[in-house]
Amino acid sequence: MTEPTTKPTNGNGKRRHILMTIAAIFITLGVAWLLLDRFVLSLRETTDDAYVVGNQVRVSAEVDGTVIEVLTQNTARVAAGQMLARLDDTDARQQLARAAAELAQAVRQVRMQQAQAVQFDAVVGERELQLARARADLAKREPLLVEQSVAGEEVRHAREAVQLAQSSLTQAQQQAAAAHALVSSMPLEQHPAVQVAGIAYQNSWLALRRTTVVAPVSGYVAQRRVQLGQRVTSGEHLLTVIPLGEVWLEANYKESQLRHLRIGQAATIIADLYGRDVAYHGRIVGLAAGTGAAFALLPPQNASGNWIKVVQRVPVKIALDPEELAAHPLRIGLSTTTTVDTHDRGGAVLAAEPDRTTRERTEVYMHDLAAAAAEVLAIIRANAD
């Protein structure tokens, strides 16, 4: 009697199950990737050619002079209106004193012209009396000439005296009119000569104030070039102030990435300084009107025979959140990786309306001329009595 043999276990079914499971996993991953690419990745545009940009406010000398004091250093924090340097003001003070003397002289000259006008008015009154006396004499003699009580020559002399008095009166009236034309019965401080001298005084006053170099905006000092004893001229660059609280981003996207970029789209920025631990959020506020190469110092000449096509990039301006900047400050020139969410494509590619909003303004150079005007008025009053 033969013993029954045991049927060996078939491993093909288990292997097939494993392979099908692996295939299902890969298919699932592939579908997930396709969905991710279709609904997420394809709606984002990323570039690592993005840098922090900000205003570099160049501080220049407003007048010529020699630097006698420097009150700041590179990396220092300064406030708008803070003194940064001071120039020798000896010449400016002398010019101000000269302008004050010229203003006082102008006031005294106008006073003299007013006195002359009054004097000519008195002369006019005198000439009127002389004319009236000459006419009265003529009126007395003409009837006597009919009666032949006086000689004709005497009457003729009387008529000539009337004519002479009339001419003298006319001359005096014209002189009085010319004298009054210089003063025009206006207040002393409104006389043109006094106003010209007053403006010259105010200019000298401003020149004295401008020997002090101040910061136009709040920020951090960079590129300090000014040194003690240096002779500077008007307009010469002394240093730079950078307001780091107002920086933005310039992301240089390839021209093939611009198709779906719109103003107002949200952007996520990762700065190399902080890494992925800090993410900034911003929005597109504008796209440049040309490529970076078009605005380069030496634009490429594409008409040459050895031309090679290079993918161009267009700067995209992205505004950053001020609160995030305050929490994690950035410096201009830092590298970032920028990702723009292009899901919302309803915005404009270019700005449709002119931007009439004033975004940058400083008032530190708007000197209060009220003090200068008060000094001018004091000089006028001191020389008017």
Higher pLDDT, 38 or 92: 92
Inter-residue contact 117 to 180 (CB < 8 Å): yes
Asked if pLDDT for residue 285 goes beyond 60, the answer is yes
Q: Could you tell me the pLDDT band of residue 300, with boundaries at 50, 70 and 90?
A: confident
Other Cβ atoms within 10 Å of 82 Cβ, number: 15
Q: What is the DSSP string of 195-212?
A: HHHHHHHHHHHHHHHTTE
Which residues lie closer than 8 Å to 19 by C-beta, 6 or more apart?
none
pLDDT of residue 142: 59
Q: Above 50 in pLDDT, residue 201?
A: yes
Cα 231 to chain centroid, rounded: 26
Rg of the chain on CA atoms, in Å: 45
Helix, strand, or coil here: 240? Answer: strand
Closest CA to 166 of 211, 121, 193, 133: 133
Describe the chain by its helix, strand, coil percentages, rounded to 5: 45, 20, 35
- Residue 278's closest CA among 310, 315, 320? 320
- The whole-model pTM stands at 0.73
Region for 40 from its dihedrals, namely left if φ exceeds 0, alpha if ψ lies in -120 to 50, beta otherwise: alpha
Buried b or exposed e, range 272-288, using 16+ CB within 10 angstroms = eeeeeeeebebbbebbe
- 106 CB contacts (<8 Å, ≥6 apart)? 193, 194, 196, 197
- Cα separation values, 232 from 72, 90, 216, 252, Å: 17, 15, 18, 39
Q: Which class in CATH covers the domain with range 57-88+211-243?
A: mainly beta
Measured between alpha carbons, how far is 131 from 143 in angstroms, rounded to an integer? 19
Mean pLDDT taken over the chain: 84
Q: Which pLDDT score is estimated for 35?
A: 64
Strand partners, 58: 240
pLDDT at 11: 61
pLDDT score of 268 more than 80: yes
Q: Which DSSP state fits 36? A: H
Least confident of 15-29, 96-110, 120-134: 120-134
Q: Which two tokens stand for residue 38?
A: 């279709």
| Percent of the chain predicted with pLDDT > 90 | 44
- Tell me, rounded to whole angstroms, the distance of Cα 217 from its chain centroid: 12
Query: 247-301+309-352: which CATH topology?
Result: Elongation Factor Tu (Ef-tu); domain 3 (2.40.30)
Q: Is the pLDDT of residue 96 over 60?
A: yes
| DSSP conformation letters of 100-117 | HHHHHHHHHHHHHHHHHH
| pLDDT reported for residue 1 | 46
Q: What is the pLDDT of residue 350?
A: 83
Q: Are 241 and 78 in contact (CB under 8 A)?
A: yes
pLDDT band of residue 24 (cuts 50, 70, 90) is confident
What pLDDT shows up at residue 39? 59
pLDDT at 7 over 70: no
Query: Using one digit for the tens of pLDDT, what is the confidence trace for 116-135?
Result: 777 777 877 877 787 787 77
Q: What is the mean pLDDT of residues 334-353?
A: 87
Tokens at 266, concatenated: 């949200």
Estimate the crossing angle of helix 152-183 against helix 90-146, to 10 degrees: 160
Q: Which residue has the higher pLDDT, 140 or 57?
A: 57
